[in-house]
Amino acid sequence: MVYAIRVSSPLVSSVRSSDGPDPQSPHPGPGGTGATVDDAPVPLPAEDAPRDPARPATPDPRELAAQFEDEKPGRTITGPIGLLLTGATVAVALLALVQVFAPLSQGSKYYLIIFLAGVLPMVFLAYPADLPLPWRRTPTGERRPGADRTRPTGPDWVLAGAALVSCLYPVLPVTIGGAGGGYDAFLDRQGLLTPLDVAMGTVLLLLLLEACRRTTGWILPAVCLLFLGYGYYGGLLPQSLPVAHAGLDFGQLVDAFYNSDSGFYGTPLDVAASYIVLFTIYGAVLDLSGAGRFFVELSAAAFRRSRTAAGRTAVASGFLLGTVSGSGAATTVSIGAVTWPVLRKAGYPAERAGGMLAAAGVGAILSPPTLGAAAFIIAEYLGVSYLQVLGWATVPTVLYYLGILLSVEIDARRSGVRPVVIDTTSPWRLLGRFGYHFLSLLVITGLLALGLSATKAVVGATVLAAALSFLDRRHRLTPARLVQALSSGVRGVLAVSAVCAAAGIITATTTKTGLGPQAAALLISGAQAVSSDPAVVLALTALLAAVALTLLGLAVPVTASFVIGWVIIGPALLDLGVAAPAAAMFVFYFAVLSEVSPPTALAAVAAAAVTGGRLVPTMWQTLRYALPAYLIPLAFVITPTGLGLLGIGGPQRIAVAGVVTAIGVAVLAVAAGGWLPGVGPVGTPERLVGALAGLTLLWLEPVPVTVGAVLAALMVGGALVRRGAAGRTGAPRAVPSGHPGEDIQ
């Protein structure tokens, strides 16, 4: 993904179970398959503790996270080539920082050309081809270990050189026949490209497709080729078809990609080069300064004495890491490496714990002040400040984590999770010693509120974080570590830069052919075929759009999914009167949810790798925990009152929308978990009524809200009647496993 804080080892000194068996022990205990009660502290490895040879090796969280992010893991390069790559990444980082305060006089597009010329060659050096060539496979089909995983091959250097030439060609002050001649001459030939211009543009097109294949797999290049084929062959379609167009020749397409503001050097790459690279550097600085360790340990300390300490710690860790992380899979692995031993000691099954970790991790892309990369694209597309986008995301983020926390509390009571005492220092002591890590986050928000651009705000926060690192001797940002932070930040943006540049193929083709309005008309007509009522048409269109975006997100990374969804599905929502902020955030949320949607569900796969749980059950548990994230976007699209969830419409609308939706999320959590805190089990009929009540409450209009409230009351009443009937008949009340006779309602 784009930028992430990753915790490389557990921070909590130890945990001990206050009562109940250890589910991992082979000796059965009372009420289950655990051991006899053991109150002795269970030490967790310290940051630099040597591994116990008697225990199986645990994968490094960084390496594990890389396997499940949107991009493939790159090479680990050392030696002279590693120094060369480090120097190149630092040069790109310095260019991005200088551009904030002293922009290149030739304009932003000139900067994008230089930026892409810096990062694209490094993609071919940092990421192996991994082609399934016969001589790279053993007779059993396994991949032969080769040197291409540790150093670039000859073809990689050739591709890197070709990328450098094709990227710099528009700005090279060399005249070749009627071509070349520098940046201004290249711009003057827009719409009249020479054969050499077309050739260079074609080379860059092919190189971007290969870069995307190396970093994200085959799907995104295939989607880009599909759009390219549509642009070239669409003129051959029967003109009676809604998606037919006049047709474009190859030169026109290359001109749109190579020499227009909607192609390779369009808004997505502008966002990557202007915003994302700076936030990756900020994330790397925070990582090296120990902020990630502090956030997880603070979460553990805050809930160390609560009955549901294990689950609350996992969720709170995901939220705090999410404030500075843009990767769901990486955050999942980070919090899982620390909290899974605690969850296991509390008695959580691996699949349920994995679902909780994945849902909490994906919240990283939804949590202010550093949302995922697509959030910056929203600000650019809509022409608003990044602070406004943060404001739109605040209430949905709170509701999302509210749903997860309620599910944690319900699971603890329904499943009899054992209380676990986490041995760590007090949260106040942690805040007093390391609370300065929050300052840079506050500085970002404060500078944005003062009117500074997001780029200047994040640079200021980065400088502050670097300076504050000297308050902790273990994490001082020395010159060597500063170089490491700059290099790591740019290395983290290589893949997303290739994706953003390739997204120009999609946006330019859509702009040239008019595909966006045509696809929107098809989507709306499909809904109108069912009903002519405007409210029903809007609801059906939103549902169809949600399904389409979810399916799209299964195949391509979040950033590309948002870009495609915005140019294809966004116009349909706008045509039906949906406000632009609501339409953009709707597309953003469903693009993000690809990380928890089966059958890919990268965050769930990463969580299963950490816990060792079965993959499919982990995915379904993740869906249950992440349910609010699927439903809240529908709430702020299908009704004007729902705009209050985005902080739009005044205090009264915001309060009504927030409170009613919070009640709806709570009711849905009870229906999904089958337990009403303070009452007890909820039967299947009551759960069905509760599910209907929660969905109805999300339709933020007076009549649906009234109906939803009545249904919710019926669910509570049914649960109370069930509890009373159980008491009269002497039926046993719910008892947690390993705690005979104890009621934890």
The residue with greater pLDDT, 239 or 576, is: 576
CA distance 661 to 629: 12
Whether residue 549 is predicted with pLDDT greater than 80 in this model: the reply is yes
In the predicted model, what is the mean pLDDT of residues 539-560? 83
Following CA atoms 47, 48, 50, 54 in sequence, which dihedral angle do they give, to the nearest 10 degrees?
Answer: 10
623 — pLDDT class (breaks 50, 70, 90): confident
Over residues 26-34, the mean pLDDT reads 34
38 pLDDT above the threshold of 50: no
Q: What is the CA 74 to chain-centroid distance, rounded?
A: 19
E strands of 177-288, at which residues? 179-180
Backbone angles phi, psi at 675, to 5 degrees: -150, 135
Cα–Cα–Cα angle for 87, 91, 94, rounded to 5 degrees? 135
Q: Per-residue confidence at 48, pLDDT binned at 50, 70, 90? A: very low
Report yes or no: 365 and 558 within 8 Å, Cβ to Cβ: yes
Confidence class for position 534, pLDDT limits 50, 70, 90: confident
Query: What pLDDT shows up at residue 18?
Result: 44
Q: Provide the pLDDT confidence category of residue 115 given band limits of 50, 70 and 90.
A: very high
In the structure, what pLDDT confidence band is assigned to residue 302 with cuts at 50, 70 and 90?
confident
Helix (H) or strand (E) holding 545: helix 534-555
User: Tens digit of pLDDT for each residue in 176-188?
Assistant: 877 777 888 888 8
- In the beta sheet, which residues pair with residue 176? 179
In this structure, of 132-146, 233-247, 268-282, 548-562, the range with the lowest mean pLDDT score is: 132-146
Domain positions in the chain: 61-130+152-241+253-290+472-509, 644-726
CA atoms of 608 and 595, how far apart (whole Å): 13
Q: What pLDDT, in 10s, does the model give residues 211-224?
A: 999 888 888 899 89
Q: What is the pLDDT of residues 671-716, one digit of tens each?
A: 988 888 888 888 889 999 999 999 999 888 889 999 999 999 999 9
Instruction: With residue 16 as reference, give the H or E element that holds it.
Output: strand 14-17
Q: Kind and range of the H or E element at 680? A: strand 680-681
Phi, then psi, of 540 in degrees rounded to 5:
-65, -40
For residue 673, what pLDDT is reported? 84
Mean pLDDT of 449-469: 91
